[in-house]
Structure 1
């Protein structure tokens, strides 16, 4: 593999050892063209607003009958009070542009977090080379596609496919669209244990892929790769010459065992960071979505390219935010409190939903992925009759003109409110959708 870019020289490898997927492959490839599309085609909440625009909300189980928004993964528990202390400790710092590569203390805090969370050896990651602060993981995931698109334009113009899970985070689809790359929607369905089966893709698709997005624990289904799954995925990416972008923003929000990460796979595969990046955020771990603070880590050549793109069209992370973020990354008690909150919500959900809508206990995240037969119809019904706002799974699975949508039977329900509100909302959901709302298990 090319150590400079993570793609390029290894493209020759992809023409021989990767065999075409068998005809009975479980993966139905849906590949879009390499052209720029309107980003609104990929934005689920814009589409949801349009779906419900002419539907007044029905009587809601919320306080004072107010609608309950279960469509957005917006944490409702406040971050620690020390965040405000750090943000106001040096008001003068708000008047200065932040250093693009961040402060040394913030980078060191990020490395220490990764070493602790993923049991990585001390010194393997260099804070100066391998870390880039981000105003949230979303910004890094988006700009990564733009940065890598320049690599393809320079060296391999035919390498323009972006592998992304379907359903998945809309940022992946939007990034591919804006970058003029060809999105490949890889079903992450019940048949594939809710994870995209990249190895089943045709050889030509793998050989012309520029990058792959992979989220674990997955948004929305909560499925997680084990370390062997990460290793197999990394080997495939390196053999075929595409970069692996691991979205691990839910890596601290798990129900039982801590999920494995892509850096653990890189370490096990010889220790090289070529072609691999991981993305982390304090939005979920620290319940600080409004802080806009995260980081990416990995291949230093790719880190440099994304850094250059962010300097041109992005936003740096203010120094006071980095100071608060460093303290959050070092807070070892915080994740335990956060997990306890969500575990309680899942236990309440299981009591109400067990045996309904294909419910199963996820490995991580804080979403329910419910099979209701027709997610769009169910979303309108729940809003019209109960003032419950949920997200149709189809809106997370590609543009409206994509055939064989992997999420059309589902709705995504965010478990973010307090226990009492969550119980009222889910009880009302079952009352509205009834036994015909989805398959019984």
Structure 2
């Protein structure tokens, strides 16, 4: 076959680290792999029991939008965690959140082809930009300030006028920055006032801390209301279920209904046993409290070890990431 003349996927970031992992693994003690945010702790027992029980009865196709039990449990968690009341009809299941992040620009561009730009934080999860690229749209980074918070005043008005989607991410991956309630409402209203769909990736919402490492209440773009807002959540980090692929998107009823119909046609389905496990996970907060304390303790232990070797923590205090700077001026690849 002839060489492609169109899009060629760039090297996947984690694939580029393979040789470094092999080198580290050959050293005494082996590799400590901090290259990707994958859970290493056990699946909660209440979730495992629900998964096993549901697997025995899983013979038919599950609903693409999610089972009533899954959507009800997700809506119940939103109200407990954030104090926002949504109906199950304003929630649909997604296969983790990465596929939703990657596919959302394409699906929204089919709905509104007059806009061709995706705005996303300049320092962020790479799939925001890749989702725009896969949809044939422009990926335009939004500058961040010295605290890693979005600086929407710096967006070129021409880019704002063309924007289809504005991605928010709170707390932020990988910087650990966390907005105040007023700040996330301002950001959401900035997008809404310009006719931009505001998609807020909040999959680390259970791991928000102050500078001392004490837990604090998370924020959501849904504080600004539902109109034009989509809130995206996952069980991968919250409940150590990255291997099951379960999440949801909730918010604007018209957008949620549209995405649900698209997903039916595309056959995007979270397997039925996974939905049963997910419903059990969203209904249980005790295992999350344990995980939240576990991550805080790990951050507190690792930060001074790295600092003693010249790697300071430059990011915010939330998520389970440490966003590092080098006292020797090394970039990320040199540090790795």
After TM superposition, give the deviation of residue 58 of structure 1 in Å: 6.4
Paired position in structure 1 for 2:297: 344
Whether 2:328 is the aligned partner of 1:375: answer no
Match for residue 126 of structure 1 among 81, 87, 90: 87
After TM superposition, give the deviation of residue 303 of structure 1 in Å: 1.2
SS of 2:311's partner is coil
SS of 1:133's partner is strand
| 1:35-74 alignment, distance < 5 Å | 37-40=7-10, 43-49=12-18, 52=20, 56-57=23-24, 59-60=26-27, 65-74=29-38
The 2-side partners of 1:316 and 1:172 are apart by 22
Aligned CA distance change for structure 1 residues 215 and 181 (closer, same or farther; 3 Å): same
Paired position in structure 2 for 1:97: 61
The alignment's C-alpha RMSD in Å is: 2.2
SS of 1:40's partner is coil
Any unmatched runs of 5+ in structure 2?
1-5, 210-214
Are 2:171 and 2:204, in contact at CA under 8 Å, matched by a contact in 1? yes
Match for residue 292 of structure 1 among 217, 224, 245: 245
After TM superposition, give the deviation of residue 220 of structure 1 in Å: 0.2
SS of 2:285's partner is coil
After TM superposition, give the deviation of residue 258 of structure 1 in Å: 2.0
The 1-side partners of 2:180 and 2:230 are apart by 17
The 2-side partners of 1:202 and 1:174 are apart by 21
Paired position in structure 2 for 1:315: 268
Are 1:146 and 1:309, in contact at CA under 8 Å, matched by a contact in 2? no
Match for residue 223 of structure 1 among 149, 170, 177: 177
After TM superposition, give the deviation of residue 173 of structure 1 in Å: 1.5
Runs of 4+ in 1 over 4 A off after TM superposition: none
After TM superposition, give the deviation of residue 232 of structure 1 in Å: 0.9
TM-score (norm 2): 0.89
TM-score (norm 1): 0.69
Deviation by residue 1:153-173 (Cα, 9 ceiling, x = unmatched)? 2xx2xx211001122112212
The 2-side partners of 1:48 and 1:366 are apart by 20
Q: Whose radius of gyration is greater, 1 or 2?
A: 1
Aligned CA distance change for structure 1 residues 186 and 276 (closer, same or farther; 3 Å): same
Paired position in structure 1 for 2:52: 88
Any unmatched runs of 5+ in structure 1?
1-35, 267-272, 380-441
SS of 2:207's partner is coil
The 2-side partners of 1:164 and 1:39 are apart by 20
Aligned CA distance change for structure 1 residues 317 and 363 (closer, same or farther; 3 Å): same
Are 1:39 and 1:178, in contact at CA under 8 Å, matched by a contact in 2? no
* More divergent stretch after superposition (279-288 vs 359-368): 359-368
